[in-house]
Structure 1
Amino acid sequence: MANYDITIDKEKFNLSSKYIASLDIVPIGNQQFHALRHNRSYKIKILNTDFAQKTMTLEVNGNTYEMVLADEYDQMVDKMGLLSTKTHKINNIKAPMPGLIIDVMAMIGQKVETGTPLIVLSAMKMENIITSQGEGIIKSINVEVNDAVDKGQLIIEME
């Protein structure tokens, strides 16, 4: 069972996939949904989504909320203290989990810095944006869209 840390307007919540599945959510239009929880009705509209930063702006019953989603991978990276402001060179980028390549945003020869989006990996019904953890120049890209990858598989080589 997956757990997600969700921060809404600086207040943090931990939600399990079981809890999320228990919500009665029905799409009612373009980026609009109706949710029912404990006999309370909620009209939800997605105003803005930034997949790279895993943020979303929602309107719920007329009130606007900023939401940040941290999946289990983000929580693990944070817990291990891997989020660093130091600049460092990187050699290779490996798949953090098994999944399917949805998008390749990087190009051979591209100079990247910390946080540069490189690959979109679909895993556990979530799209995960793999970003550069340092700086460097892309030497080769070893995957294409629709490729299945294993955890630890080399996906990008750096110079």
Structure 2
Amino acid sequence: AIGAFAGAAHADRARRIDNQLGDRLDPPAEWQVKIGDSIQSVILSEEAISVDGKEVELSAEYTPGDGLIEATIGDEPLIVKIKKTTSGFAMNTRGARFEVRVLPQSIAQHAVHMIEKIPPDLSKYLLCPMPGLLVALHVGEGDTVEEGQPLAVVEAMKMENILRAEKNGVVKSIEAAQGDSLAVDAIILELE
């Protein structure tokens, strides 16, 4: 119920942005809220809030951007720490953390087609963190490295930045040479 309430607050704020085409639409009344594998249908109206057809007494104040929601469910007070994410909110309450996906019901039916992009594992690469000049390379192909060991030095904005190994491994290949100008996220070396 709190997730849908916060989602409606964000939708209401979005509809108030000036210079939009067409008439301003009211925020959706029907929401789908997913916490873990559990999916609930939440309906918000002026009179009541229902979760899966069961009426819930919720009293809360929330403005998009607030870090906390102080709510009362029934007679029980509940404080929830909240942070906006791409498709919902990260919520913390009573020592537990929840990733809550909140979508209008009209969009939620298409959620099965929205595949989450899993970021590639780049832990085996040493990437240049900023544009700069590769001043020194402390290892060669086949060298064994330990976590925390200096691997390279990149000079950027007249400062030398020491790049260290994030894990133990063996240098598989060197992709850059000393003296090369590197872009952000350029591969310097690869570990096995």
TM-score by length of 1: 0.43
TM-score by length of 2: 0.36
